Structure 1
Amino acid sequence: MTWQSPIAPGISWYQATLEERPAYPRLEESTSADVAIVGGGFTGLQAAYHLAANGTDVVLIDAARLGDGASGRNGGQLGTGQHWWPEDMESKLGPERSKAFFRIAEDAKSHLLDFAKTHGINIDFQPGQISVAHKRNMEFSFKNHVEALAERYDYPHLSFLSKHETEERLGSNRYFCGIRDIGTGHIHPLKLLIGTGKAAATAGARIFEMTKADNIEQKEGRIAVSTERGTVTADRVLIACNGYIEEHLEPGTAAKVMPIRSFIAATRPVTKSEKILPGGESVDDSRFVVRYFRKTKTGELLFGGREAYTADQPKDISKHLRRQIAEIYPALKKIEITHAWGGNVGITMPRRPLVHEIMPGVTSIGGFSGHGVLLSNYCGKLFAEELLGQSSELDLYRDLDIPAFPGGGALRKPLLFLALTWFSLRDRF
């Protein structure tokens, strides 16, 4: 029977191409642990693995199945750096902090690929990513970005693409220039997620699916995470719900992390004669309401975007994405779409990750703002290393100023509609 996520619409191509997807039990009775983790995405599972592998007793609970959230349903692009380009971060945080954040993102990239190799996880890695400009006046900033990373960040893997070169690489004349990055790539995120879950369970972490956290409170010197059928009592708690954080569970995080619905469609395999992405790179464009696409190893085009004017869960996801595909690839306007799905991307106001303590012993991590494949995995590892006394790197994120959205959690949805509508209009002009 095909599994339909209770927290996100549509059946993903990722799920349809799995050979197996292990199921984990519900929590049926109260238990205790050294560390309790709420959320079974990349952050929670990486933390669970590294803690359990070092002898810590860990219980992880997830409200749905592992991979039902953004970690198992995203675009699969690794990217380079943080959300903001380093030269832009320099003006906001200073050159030294900007370089520290770039270094941590490169460490995150190496960690992800090394983790998959060490644990025998076939993540379908393909090298290369292209960032493209949807406006003509972006050429200077694209060229400057290539130079800045080579000269100040010791990252020689970028090359500027002229309009003609961009057309050749994409098989589309829709964009004005681009940047090719051969130091990164794209993956099958659900394979990585499932492999990380297996590694955590093998290391000794106790994982429970379909177990929703209802409340978190301090009780008799420890922290109690209550669920429908039992309570997990622990010395430390990690909340790793990202774009699925609920206000009743943790209002402080909900006020600072806004969920944006993003949608992806998978087409039938494109042929070589169609000359689409002949180099196999993934693509992201410069729109605020970003469009991102790539070919899988078997040739399917995965195309992601967000339509600001649709309902939160449109009845026909593929209709809106087909229109966007046709804007970039007119010849594909009638191509067969085999799968269409959506999910939440967690963003913060400054588009930087949120790491904060909501009460003594309870840490919340999220708001990766479109860079979650790399950063969520690594932040989970850093959380574990912090508890084990092995690293203090997580303080880089903890020291960031992440303000609440105006109106807090209660106004997230109306603000989301207004913001996406406004930026969608800006993207057009």
Structure 2
Amino acid sequence: MLKYDRQPHIDSYYVASTPDIPSYPALDGSMQCDICVVGGGLAGLSSALNLAERGYSVVLLEGSRLSHGASGRNGGQVINGYACDMDTLSRAAGETAAKAMWDMSLEAIDIIEERIQRHQIDCDWERGHTLAAVKPAKFEELVQWQAEAERRFGYRHYTLWDKAELRQHLDSPRYCGGLYDALGGHIHPLKYALGLARAAHTAGARLYENTPVIRIEQGAQAKVHTASGVVSCKQLILAANVSMGDLVPPLGNKIMPVGTYVITTEPLGEARAQSLINPNFAVADTQFVLDYYRLTRDHRLLFGGKVSYSGLPPPNLASAMRSDMLRVFPQLADVRIDHAWGGFVDITMSRAPHWGRLSPNVYFCQGFSGHGVAVTGLAGRLIAEAIAGQNERLDLFSQINHHPFPGGKLLRMPSLVLGMAWYRLRDYF
């Protein structure tokens, strides 16, 4: 059975700022369809919407509420590229494929804007994203990356800011420079995901919540078993990510759930908020254990960071995250924290996306590794193309060889905790 089944939405700023969260029924009975999608996050909803718009009959099954997991909890940052560096993709599939994948990551950002406009999704979309360097060596890496992105990919939307220039836009003493990307941005992810769900439902997709999958039969006619019914389908899409559990071991052993955590402040007022970040871009630093943050529509600071491979949140989460926030913005010492929450992202060993086919009629997408707000939409588009007979673009990602996490179920988590301790030391020194 999938993990995290039949759970309500968590207490978060996103839920508190989304006044009307629609409910969809649980599956009761059996049915047939062209395509069954397992997983009701951004990847599954994007797949369902793309395919319903192409005229396929689509059934989507979600074990809890739609966007209950990372899709409705994340930092909302819309970033170009992937969680791995582009050299990882070039080594795996060749430089020509890597260039195509880079262009597709930009297409992923265009998909968001296109969906927002076409389906009138009110989700606080803002352009602008900055990578901020904590140390001079990291700033030099940003300098080199700007030149490399233009040379290799023709990308000319970066602006390099030295320490003084960055401080004019980001009022923090922590950084020695930054790289601003005009095409990236940030979004209210829960509102966006629910907008995709509404659009998919309008296009004819049948959406079911609180319907955990307990067993899958692969074959020419795949069968997806739930506690109260069976969905028979010609094509199957697995998009449950870290919620997949042991349902499909060849997928589950190639991703690892990693906890990450977010707080929001009380409303700061427009003037104080703009004094922190102006214009209203999203920020992520260049540390391995990174901080990421942005302003919300109602002028709060939304601040994320920390990681946990153990599955346990930090003790006194709000206080621990507040300490990290004050390291970046010490001038907020008088500000109250209103919300604190966490969730899991799915990472692969290489941090490269893991998309492809298990068999001729079973597709999957997972391993977004923290870049899922944008590239989930790309994954949904590529899978829809492949089902419609145009599989060239999805096949590029199938060339990436993904290794299982070492140590099996018992030892992989302790080994990753030790690895994280090493990277924390690297960040410190």
TM-score tier, shorter chain, comes to over 0.9
Match of 2:168 in 1: 168
**Are residues 1:102 and 2:121 paired?**
no
Paired amino acid for 2:351:
R
The equivalent of 1:329 in structure 2 is 329
Once the two structures are superposed, residues 106-156 of structure 1 have per-residue CA deviations (whole angstroms, 9 ceiling, x without a partner) of 111111111110111122111111101122212322111112222332221
Task: Give the direction of change, closer, same or farther, for the CA distance of 1:214–1:314 in structure 2 (3 Å limit).
Answer: farther
Q: Distance in 2 between matches of 1:307 and 1:285?
A: 14
Matched residue, 1:261? 259
Matched with 1:231 is: 230
Q: Per-residue deviation at 1:410? A: 4.4
Answer yes or no: is the 8 Å Cα contact 2:129–2:180 preserved in 1: yes
**Which residue in the other structure is 1:388 paired with?**
388
Instruction: Please list the CA deviations of residues 293-339 of structure 1 after superposition, one character each: whole Å capped at 9, or x if unmatched.
Output: 00012211000011559861346321221111011111223421111
Distance, in Å, in 2 between the alignment partners of 1:331 and 1:203 is 48
TM-score scaled by length of structure 2? 0.93
Kept in 2, the 8 Å contact 1:133–1:178? The answer is: yes
Residues 192-341 of structure 1 aligned to structure 2 (within 5 Å): 192-218=192-218, 221-247=220-246, 249-271=247-269, 272-273=271-272, 275-308=275-308, 312-314=312-314, 316-341=316-341
Tell whether the 8 Å contact from 1:325 to 1:333 is kept in structure 2 after alignment.
Answer: no
Q: 1:115 and 1:311, CA in 2 relative to 1: closer, same or farther beyond 3 A?
A: closer
The aligned counterpart of 2:79 is: 79
Aligned-residue Cα RMSD (Å) equals 2.2
Q: How big is each residue's C-alpha offset from its partner over 1:73-97, in whole Å with a ceiling of 9 and x where there is no partner?
A: 1111111122234467556654322
Name 1:371's counterpart in structure 2: 371
Q: Does 1:358 align with 2:354?
A: no
- 1:158–1:179: 8 Å Cα contact kept in structure 2? yes
Q: Can you give the 5+ residue segments of structure 1 that lack an aligned partner in the other structure?
A: none
SS of residue matched to 1:389: coil
The verdict on how the C-alpha distance between 1:60 and 1:206 changes in structure 2, with shifts beyond 3 A counting, is same
Give unpaired runs (5+ residues) of structure 2. none
| Partner residue in 1 for 2:416 | 416
Distance 1:377 1:309 in 2: 26
1:191 equivalent in structure 2: 191
Instruction: Provide closer, same or farther for how the CA distance between residues 228 and 215 of structure 1 changes in structure 2, counting only shifts above 3 A.
Output: same
Corresponding residue number in structure 2 for 1:120: 120
Distance, in Å, in 1 between the alignment partners of 2:405 and 2:7 is 23
3-state SS, counterpart of residue 21 of structure 2: coil
For 2:41, the equivalent position in structure 1 comes to 41
In the alignment, is the contact (CA less than 8 A) between 2:258 and 2:309 conserved in 1? Answer: no
Cα separation, 2, equivalents of 1:385 and 1:34: 15
- Give the drift of 1:233: 1.4
Counterpart for residue 24 of structure 1: 24
